[in-house]
């Protein structure tokens, strides 16, 4: 069983879409996605600098578009999809496309709304996020509670992301929990916390216009790592997760329980494969960062299909 994983915000880098534009049809797809999201994805994915694409309004559509483009290219190269799909934070919008819940254009419309709404919510107070690496989880959570910070992402592999007021994050960096290292993240606000409540309302209104299908393959939610069974449930979950913690640790536990034999992370890849190497030790992983990585991903899909055929 091969899981396809779709990354979240922070995985984008300047110019990362440029090599994908060399593939047939990608420019046309990005033009459609740009119109749906109300963001010039070609410009921002090829020439905009790091500060520009850090803007939540731009970053979120860029990331989802990249995952969708990579998924299309992988399907064309391998002749098949993965067996299950999951997304980290905004990556869930790419994941529900992979599961057949909504179209790519619909997901891009929703991510455009999401990015704008979360940027507006973040502008209401000086907040941010920091990764806390290592240490005892209970001690980390206790320290966050002391500072009135929220554990916004449980990423597994000894990584928790704290979110909240910038003053509290500074205090955490100055006096972290024992045995931990604190790394400030390049994001504009305290995502996946109560600071994002206004964004939830905006996204819920946009979601109400969608007509979802039930998932056509296994789809895990990063709300709690469970399997999503209906399209309506999928849309409700991606709405609520804007202000609730991302439990990628529970997703990886569910992957292991399902007996996965490999994981492919779609562009802009790297973060989730890194977590998998610690949280899913021994599981083959492929990060599809550029079109050059498609062959390795296709080989992993073909190997899984051959193993299934041999056991029949």
pLDDT digits 0-9 by tens, 64-119: 999 999 999 999 999 999 999 999 999 999 999 999 999 999 999 999 999 999 99
Rounded-to-integer distance, Cα 189 and Cα 278, Å: 27
Instruction: Please state the domain count of the chain.
Output: 2
- Position 202 confidence tier, pLDDT thresholds 50, 70, 90: very high
Q: Left (φ > 0), alpha (ψ -120 to 50) or beta: where does 157 sit?
A: left
Q: Which two tokens stand for residue 48?
A: 């905009």
- Side-by-side strand order, sheet with 2-6: 218-220, 84-87, 2-6, 262-265, 285-287
Does 227 lie in the same domain as 176?
A: no
192 is catalytic: yes
Q: Give the pLDDT confidence of 206-229 residue by residue, as tens digits.
A: 999 999 999 999 999 999 999 999
Cα-based torsion angle of the residue sequence 146, 148, 153, 158 in order, rounded to the nearest 10 degrees: -10
Q: Give the pLDDT confidence of 119-132 residue by residue, as tens digits.
A: 999 999 999 999 99
Model pTM? 0.94
Does 218 lie in the same domain as 171?
A: no
Rounded to an integer, the average pLDDT of 179-203 is 94
Residue count of the chain: 312
Active-site pick, 89, 130, 243, 244: 89
> Residue 45 above 70 pLDDT?
yes
Does 138 lie in the same domain as 48?
A: no
- Position 308 confidence tier, pLDDT thresholds 50, 70, 90: low
- What lies within 8 Å, CB to CB, of 177 at 6+ separation is 132, 135, 136, 139, 140, 142, 143
> What's the mean pLDDT when you consider all of the chain?
95
Does 218 lie in the same domain as 117?
A: yes
Does 156 lie in the same domain as 15?
A: no
Active-site pick, 34, 192, 243, 244: 192
- What lies within 8 Å, CB to CB, of 74 at 6+ separation is 264, 266, 288, 294, 297, 298, 301
Q: Which domain holds residue 138?
A: 127-184
- Position 10 confidence tier, pLDDT thresholds 50, 70, 90: confident
Does 104 lie in the same domain as 217?
A: yes
Does 150 lie in the same domain as 52?
A: no
CATH of residue 98: 3.40.366.10
Q: Which two tokens stand for residue 231?
A: 């399209």
Does 208 lie in the same domain as 118?
A: yes
Q: How far is CA 275 from the centre of its chain?
A: 13
Rounded to an integer, the average pLDDT of 34-51 is 97
302 is catalytic: no
């Amino acid at each position: 069983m091969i899981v396809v994983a779709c990354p979240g915000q922070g995985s984008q880098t300047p110019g990362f879409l440029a090599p994908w534009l060399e593939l047939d049809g990608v420019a046309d797809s990005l033009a459609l996605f740009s119109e749906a999201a109300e963001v010039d994805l070609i410009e921002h994915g090829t020439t905009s600098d790091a500060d520009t694409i850090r803007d939540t309004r731009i970053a979120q559509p860029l990331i989802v578009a990249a995952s969708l483009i990579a998924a299309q290219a992988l399907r064309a190269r391998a002749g098949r999809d993965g067996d299950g799909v999951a997304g980290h934070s905004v990556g869930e919008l790419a994941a529900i496309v992979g599961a057949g819940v909504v179209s790519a254009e619909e997901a891009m419309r929703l991510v455009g709304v999401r990015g704008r709404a979360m940027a507006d919510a973040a502008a209401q107070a000086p907040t941010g996020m920091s990764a806390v690496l290592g240490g005892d989880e209970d001690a980390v959570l206790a320290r966050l509670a002391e500072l009135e910070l929220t554990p916004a992402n449980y990423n597994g592999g000894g990584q928790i992301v704290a979110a909240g007021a910038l003053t509290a994050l500074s205090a955490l960096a100055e006096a972290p929990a024992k045995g931990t290292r604190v790394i400030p993240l390049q994001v504009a606000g305290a995502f996946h916390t109560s600071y994002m409540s206004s964004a939830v309302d905006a996204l819920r209104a946009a979601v109400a216009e969608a007509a979802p299908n039930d998932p056509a393959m296994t789809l895990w939610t990063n709300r709690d790592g469970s399997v999503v069974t209906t399209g309506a449930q999928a849309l409700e979950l991606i709405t609520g997760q804007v202000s609730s913690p991302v439990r990628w640790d529970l997703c990886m536990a569910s992957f292991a329980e399902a007996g996965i034999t490999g994981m492919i992370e779609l562009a802009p890849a790297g973060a989730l494969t890194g977590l998998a190497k610690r949280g899913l030790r021994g599981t083959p992983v492929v990060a599809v960062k550029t079109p050059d990585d498609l062959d390795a991903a296709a080989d992993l899909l073909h190997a899984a299909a051959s193993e299934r055929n041999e056991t029949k």
